[in-house]
Structure 1
Amino acid sequence: MARDRARLGGRRAAGLFAAGTAVALALATGGSLSQAGAATQSDAAAQTAVQAPKATHSQIQLLAINDFHGNLEPATGSGGKINDIPAGGAAYLATHLKELRAAAKAKGQDSVTVAAGDLIGASPLLSAAFHDEPTVEALSGMGLEAASVGNHEFDEGWHELLRMQTGGCLPDGDGQNNQNSCPDPKHPFEGAKYKYLSANVFFTNTQKTLFAPYTIKTFKDGKKVAFIGMTLENTPNIVTKSGVEGLTFKNEVATANALVPELKKKGVKSIVVLLHEGGFPADPKAYNSCPGISGPIVDINAGLDPEIDAIISGHTHQAYNCSLPDKAGKPRLVTSASSFGRLVTEVRLSIDNATGDVDRTNTLAQNQIVTQDVVQDPKTAKLIAKYKALVAPIEGKVIGHISTPSVVRTNDDSLESPLGNLIADAQLADPSVVSAGKAPVAAFMNPGGIRADLASNAGAVTFGQAFTVQPFNNFLVSMDMTGAQIKALLEQQFSGVNGPEAAKYKVLQVAGITYTWNPAAAAGSKVVAGSIKIGGQPLVDGTSYRIVTNNFLSDGGDGFPAFTTATNKVFGGLDIDAFANYLSAHDPYTPVATDRITLGS
């Protein structure tokens, strides 16, 4: 019964146009990128002075978002702020977009709104309970025109992603499993009014892409701008295998570069890449610059054809805005608008009227905070209110209590967390994965699947709060693994794609198993020999153990191919149900000590 991973379903902060002349001048005069960044931040007056286009140029406004993740309402905690300023919320975002477009129109400028992936998936219950149909409706109503696919667009599989584009309703039993496609029979889901783009996602063994690789927007006076949309090549490693079965994900640089000659033959001289891959600035608060930026976006930018004029990026949930040198040494705009609709990137593409090409030294960009001191867009607010009423009975149901204000996902030094222990315990206790009377003896949970701390209302935990923690609605899978396979699995937490070159190790949260690892040891030997115990007994290489995890990890997701070598796999129920049932059965729940994973030598 394998299934695709399903989800349950005014005042604007001061900022300067950081990707224009100051950066270009610093680079052109032999300065370093750090010098360019310094010039950008110190030359605010100069930036303001060049915002008006040259007499020989036209400006086109480009508005961009990324990683919205169905956050129709403002996210809570730090996820709902930019530098301590409350930000986000679809009704506020819609208003900001309208204001920005109106300002461009008043100057006689054209405008286009685009996105760089992960608009849906890993969404709050308000959107996920309805298969993210509310988010697609809201973004369509905001005037979004084109979006690259991101990895989370594949959470429910590519067939479901096609439905997001074309519309139609799912026969999901009118609320079965807390999901409800098309809950209002008078208003069936019509699909996205914007175009999904997937230049590097091909049907396997064909030259056909899942969606169009690019779209060309023609503005007044015949000016053309092409938007190439791509997701990260590594997508198959971070989504459920069944969700991308039959698809091949190709290299981002090679894909985009191959499209440049094709676009030039169509008379396109201005090219923007919408890329669901990103970077990590050294200072995450410097949202209008890129201090010390690292990560995949740096190498991708360096490899892209110089004919490509700008990169709108995402995936890392970081905010940055600057120019990086292309492989011809010329500055190229690279931006990201954080996540959850908290920022909008406003780009003013400066087009030379004589050549039709982008003049990068006069192309400006600014990340604008989506503040909440504006009037909410009435249409979007009405849409949100409708779905809030529909989701209320599911969201508000109390499923248990906790003895602390929250159960946190914050790791200790060994990278174990109280919430990770709770989730692993729930998986281990779930009866749906017992096969032929054989119950699992150990459980493994990927830390990236724990999306928030478990909050409470004076100790009471609702289904909505539990869902915020585990929004993917994966299936639990039990399987047989030998002791040797489990050893290999644990080492994969510190090697391969999870090795030292990664942003951080991916240490699985566990139940039923204990071990010690040595941070100073070499990759492949970090787990201390003889330290692994299951049920308090030393692990034996040749012994078979029944374990449980979710179907994402079962398919080798997050860089854990050891799971794919397991045998006798049995699919059980949904992880969110196991979580909710465990809280109900252990009411009130008290967090346990984080002593399953230890550090040693």
Structure 2
Amino acid sequence: MTSPRFRALPLLALIFAAACAAPQATRQASTPPAAVPVEVGIIAINDFHGALEPPKASVDAPGPDGKTIPVPAGGGAWLASAVDSLKAEHPNNVVVAAGDLTSASQLASSLHLDEPAVGVMNRIGLEFNAVGNHEFDRGPKELLRLQNGGCEKNTRLQPCQLEQFKGATYKYLSAATYKDDGTTLFPATGLKTFGEGASKVTIGFVGLSLKTVPLLVSPDQLKGLTFGDEAEAINKAIPVLKAEGADAVVVLIHQGGTTTAKDPNSCDGFSGDIKPILDRLNPGVDLVVSGHTHWQYVCQYGQSGDGSPILLTSAGVYGKLVTDITLTIDPASHKVIAKKAHNVIVQSPGYSSARGDVPNTTAYPQFQPRGDVAEYVASYVKDAAGLITRPVGKLSGPAAKGSSESNNGGPLGNLIADSQVAGAKSAGSQIAFTNPFGIRAPIDPAADGTVTFGQVYAVQPFNNELVTMTLTGAQVRAVIEDGLDDDGAKQVLAASSSVKFTYDMRRPARSRVVSLTFNGKPIDAVAKYRVTVVNFLAEGGDGFATFKQGTEVERGMIDNEAFQEWLAAVPVRQVPQENRAVRLDK
């Protein structure tokens, strides 16, 4: 017979087990702590344009006394340090760009097919980049090489001159750029996730070019590609990203606007071609990182999916600024509950030019160059140094390009047009026009007037050919009207010395040219004139469609070679100061 004492043991064991289990059951039934909001730092740039070295350019910003001061800024190694400083402030971070990181670049980058520009972006930790219009300048095959690496020769320049090119570690995004089979040239979207479990948040990115790329790039470089509507592509991507778990949607778009303010963090007087795109967006977009206009701003614009304004930013040009953006996301509701942004000036060493000194200021932090990036850039600059510093002629003084507000070529535009008439003399050139948007930098000669090849190349980095054609006087008037109409951005063509015109923007489109003369006499509508432009314009680029009507077409020398010859033809070339295009309504 079993002892009663031993029969009782199972009962005691059960009581003990229950007692031990009670606290555990209580813990299992308790509510886990609520997930706290998660902050993510988005570090954004745009329009770097291969600015490996400080570009001898400044950012206008409020000074200590409230007056605007110029702050010297830019350069790859300084940009790397600025990005590093922002990463340190944001444990959760991602670095993004809104296009035009390459092409229209400094000589050291351009001569090496912008491989070093990609190398700098790799080193600063860029993760996503929307494809800009200039990234198509050498055609899609070469752009794909920048993404994937390799040394295949797709242009007249030799790739991999200093190193085996491994390609971009970041991803190009192109939601509205389609191949013949209907697929996109690059992925439309990308995702990045931060944290784990209940604190996990995901940000979705959609990147795209502007639909007017065919007006900005030579058609020969875009064969097999079409560019769709930007808003439609974004609206299509929003539900896709949400279905993939995106708590926030960020648009990277190579389109933008301008403001009337000097403060890089202002949005006063905002206008531009991005506005109709934003106005057509469906709910769900939290942040738009923009570019293209080379302007800097931070705006609260429109409405996102949670009813708050869309945050809109741009960081100017040449790496002179970087945008520090913070999104605060509630992991429980999967919504952005706060957003803010600030443009940080990448202050680099002061500089001197023919326009005067631009010293450093204590009003803004001065960054130090990051060593590895500085060393990397120096290797490419050294390889190009002989060409960069070679004197090509002398100028009587600074040759300025027109302001962004006036959209004219200024004295430099006139100088370029004069050089093109001279460069196409054998083709019978009588008139030349240059588009202001094609003039990439001013020329500040040395104290003795010396201009280097590097400076000339910075002005005209595209190696366009001169094209001379026959146009009637009526067509000459029409090409000027092309730049003044209401389709796309307005540009006042810079003309050679043989042409002068007046215009009035109060008049209806296509009738804004009031007077037009050739060699001091009214132009004859039916007479024929030999007109020279670069091949980009001859193919209808920038909306100048009338040039495609030209006949008796002859191709000639490279534009920057014609400019060099013009400078070298006399001991000191005078910078034209006359106003060849006069606006009557201002």
Q: Determine whether 1:197 maps to 2:173.
A: yes
Change (3 A) 1:255 1:558: same
Aligned match of 2:315 = 337
Distance change (3 Å), C-alpha of 1:148 and 1:401: same
Q: What's the CA shift for 1:81? A: 7.8
Which of 385, 393, 402 is matched with 1:392 structurally? 385
Is 1:532 aligned to residue 510 of structure 2? no
Q: Specify the SS of the correspondent of 1:210.
A: coil
Look up the match of 2:281. 304
Q: Deviations over 1:192-229 (max 9, x none)?
A: 1111000011124x321111101112322153221100
Residue of structure 1 aligned with 2:476, choices 461, 465, 486: 486
Residue equivalent to 1:26: none
Shift of 1:537: 5.6
Which of 286, 294, 302 matches 1:317? 294
* Residue 151 of structure 2 is aligned to residue 169 of structure 1: yes
Q: Pick closer, same or farther for the CA change 1:135–1:599 going to 2, 3 Å.
A: closer
Distance 2:421 2:472 in 1: 18
**Misfit runs of 4+, over 6 Å:** 411-414
Q: Say whether 1:233 aligns with 2:223.
A: no
Alpha-carbon contact 2:257-2:271 (below 8 Å) kept = yes
Q: Measure, in 2, the Cα distance between the counterparts of 1:280 and 1:161.
A: 28
3-state SS in 1 of match to 2:90: helix
The partner residue of 2:460 within 461, 464, 470 is: 470
Identity of aligned residues (%): 38
3-state SS of paired residue (2:94) = strand
Q: Is residue 341 of structure 2 the alignment partner of residue 365 of structure 1?
A: yes
CA contact (8 A) 1:61 1:348 kept: yes
Q: Which residues of 2 match residues 48-63 of structure 1 at below 5 A?
A: 56-63=36-43
Instruction: Report if aligned partners of 1:399, 1:580 keep a CA contact under 8 Å in 2.
Output: yes
Contact 1:289 1:322 in 2 (8 A): yes
1:259 CA drift (Å): 1.5
Judged with a 3 Å threshold, the aligned counterparts in structure 2 of structure 1 residues 343 and 250 are, in CA distance, closer, same or farther, namely: same
Does the 8 A contact of 2:49 with 2:105 survive in 1? Answer: yes
Is 1:73 the counterpart of 2:53 in the alignment? yes
- The amino acid that maps onto 1:295 is G
In structure 2, the CA distance between the partners of 1:289 and 1:55, relative to structure 1 (3 Å rule), is farther
Query: Which residue pairs with 1:143 in the alignment?
Result: 125
Alpha-carbon distance in structure 1 between the residues aligned to 2:114 and 2:300: 34
Partners of 1:81 and 1:87 within 8 A in 2: no
Is 1:414–1:597's contact at 8 Å kept on the other side of the alignment? no
1:560: how far off? 0.9
Give the drift of 1:536: 5.4
Q: Who is 2:357 aligned against?
A: none
CA drift of 1:65 comes to 0.8
1:272 paired residue number: 250
Assess if the C-alpha contact under 8 Å between 2:434 and 2:534 holds in 1.
yes
Kindly state the Cα deviation for residue 149 of structure 1 after the two structures are TM-superposed: 0.6
1:112-132 CA-to-partner distances (Å, cap 9, x unmatched) read 111111111211112112111
Q: CA deviation at 1:274?
A: 0.6
Match of 1:445 in 2: 434
Indicate if the aligned counterparts of 1:66 and 1:314 stay in contact, CA closer than 8 A.
yes
Contact 2:501 2:517 in 1 (8 A): yes
Task: Tell me the residue number matched to 1:152.
Answer: 134
Whether the aligned pair in 1 keeps the contact of 2:407 and 2:491 (CA below 8 Å) is: no
The answer (yes or no) to whether the contact 1:202–1:209 under 8 Å persists in 2 is yes
Match of 2:548?
564
What is the Cα deviation at residue 413 of structure 1? 9.3
Q: Using the alignment, how far apart are the partners of 1:269 and 1:597 within structure 2?
A: 52
Give the 3 Å change call, closer, same or farther, for CA 477–538 of structure 1 in structure 2: same
Instruction: Give the 3 Å change call, closer, same or farther, for CA 92–595 of structure 1 in structure 2.
Output: closer
1:582 aligned partner: 566
Task: Determine the structure 2 residue equivalent to 1:216.
Answer: 191
Note if contact 1:345-1:366 (Cα within 8 Å) is conserved in structure 2: yes
Secondary structure of residue in 1 paired with 2:120: helix
Rate the CA distance shift 1:80–1:377 in 2: closer, same or farther, 3 A. farther
Shift of 1:337: 1.6
Superposition deviation, residue 520 in structure 1: 4.7
- The 8 Å contact of residues 284 and 319 in structure 1, kept in 2 or not, is answered as no
Task: Say whether 1:409 aligns with 2:393.
Answer: no
CA distance in 2, matches of 1:166, 1:295: 34
Q: CA deviation at 1:578?
A: 0.7
TM-score (norm 1): 0.81
Aligned partners of 2:346 and 2:367 also within 8 Å: no
Q: Which runs of 5+ in 1 are unaligned?
A: 1-53
Q: Deviations over 1:542-586 (max 9, x none)?
A: 333322100111111122110111123232221011111111122
Tell me the equivalent position of 1:523: 509
Describe the shift of the 1:414–1:463 C-alpha distance in structure 2 as closer, same or farther (beyond 3 A): closer
Call closer, same or farther: CA 1:483–1:289 in 2, change over 3 Å.
closer
Letter aligned with residue 376 of structure 1? P
2:578 aligns to what SS in structure 1? coil
Q: In terms of Rg, which structure is larger? A: 2
- How many Å apart are 1:395 and its aligned residue? 0.7
Conserved 8 A contact 1:417-1:594: no
- Match of 1:543, as an amino acid? A
Does the residue aligned with 1:315 lie in a helix, a strand or coil?
Answer: coil
1:155 is displaced (CA, Å) by 1.8
**Rounded Cα–Cα distance in structure 1 between residues aligned with 2:507 and 2:248:** 50
Higher relative contact order (CA 8 A, sep 6+): 1
Q: Distance in 1 between matches of 2:344 and 2:502?
A: 46
Could you state the TM-score of these two structures normalised by the residue count of structure 2? Answer: 0.83
Superposed CA deviations along residues 447-495 of structure 1, whole A, max 9, x for unmatched, are 1112222221221111111112212221111122222222211222321
Matches of 2:319 and 2:451 in 1, distance apart? 27
RMSD over equivalenced CA pairs, Å = 2.7
Cα separation, partners in 2 of 1:524 and 1:103, compared to 1, 3 Å:
closer
| 1:130 corresponding residue in structure 2 | 112
Aligned to 1:594: 578
Per the alignment, residue 37 of structure 1 pairs with: none
How far apart, CA to CA, are the structure 2 residues paired with 1:170 and 1:587?
43
SS in 2 for 1:406: coil
Whether the aligned pair in 2 keeps the contact of 1:148 and 1:197 (CA below 8 Å) is yes
Q: Does 1:182 align with 2:160?
A: yes
Query: 1:91–1:376: 8 Å Cα contact kept in structure 2?
Result: yes
* d(CA) in 2 for partners of 1:308, 1:231: 17
Unaligned runs of 5+ in 2: 1-33, 63-68, 349-365
Residue type of the alignment partner of 2:50: G
- Count of residues in correspondence between the two structures: 523
One-letter amino acid of the counterpart of residue 379, structure 2:
K
